[in-house]
Amino acid sequence: MLGGEDSPSQSQSLGGSFDLTQDDTLLGVNDFSSIRIDHADTVANLTQAWINERNSPELLPYKRYLVEPLLKAIEDQTETIMETMDNPQRKFISMLFQNEIERIKFVVRSYLRTRLYKIEKCTLEILRRAHQDDNILSPQETAYARRYQELLESHNHDSFLHLMPAGQHKQDEKVADYDMVVRANMEAPVFIRVRENCGPIQLDQRDEETTMLEKDDIYILRYNVVRDLLLGGNVELI
Residue among 214, 219, 223, 176 nearest 57 (CA): 223
User: By three-state DSSP, how is residue 28 classified?
Assistant: coil
State the chain's mean pLDDT as an integer: 81
Amino acid at 209: E
- How confident is the model over 85-137, as pLDDT tens digits? 777 777 778 788 888 899 999 999 999 999 999 999 999 999 999 999 999 99
* pTM tops 0.85, yes or no: no
Question: What count of residues does the chain have?
Answer: 238
Amino acid at 122: C
Residue among 184, 57, 52 nearest 125 (CA): 184
Treating both helix axes as pointing N-terminal to C-terminal, what angle do 123-132 and 139-159 enclose, rounded to 10 degrees?
140
57 vs 126: CA distance, rounded Å: 12
Contact 38, 17 (CB under 8 A): yes
User: By three-state DSSP, how is residue 4 classified?
Assistant: coil
182 vs 190: CA distance, rounded Å: 20
Query: Which residues are CB-neighbours of 92 under 8 A, at least 6 positions away?
Result: 29
**pLDDT on residue 138:** 97
**pLDDT on residue 25:** 36
Contact 108, 67 (CB under 8 A): yes
19 vs 181: CA distance, rounded Å: 52
**pLDDT on residue 164:** 73
Contact 206, 187 (CB under 8 A): no
Contact 42, 66 (CB under 8 A): yes
- How confident is the model over 3-45, as pLDDT tens digits? 443 433 333 333 344 444 433 433 334 444 444 556 789 999 9
- How confident is the model over 166-187, as pLDDT tens digits? 666 566 666 566 667 889 999 9
**Residue 202: which H helix or E strand, with range?**
strand 198-202
CB atoms within 10 A of CB 75: 9
Contact 2, 107 (CB under 8 A): no
- How confident is the model over 123-163, as pLDDT tens digits? 999 999 999 999 999 999 999 999 999 998 887 777 776 67
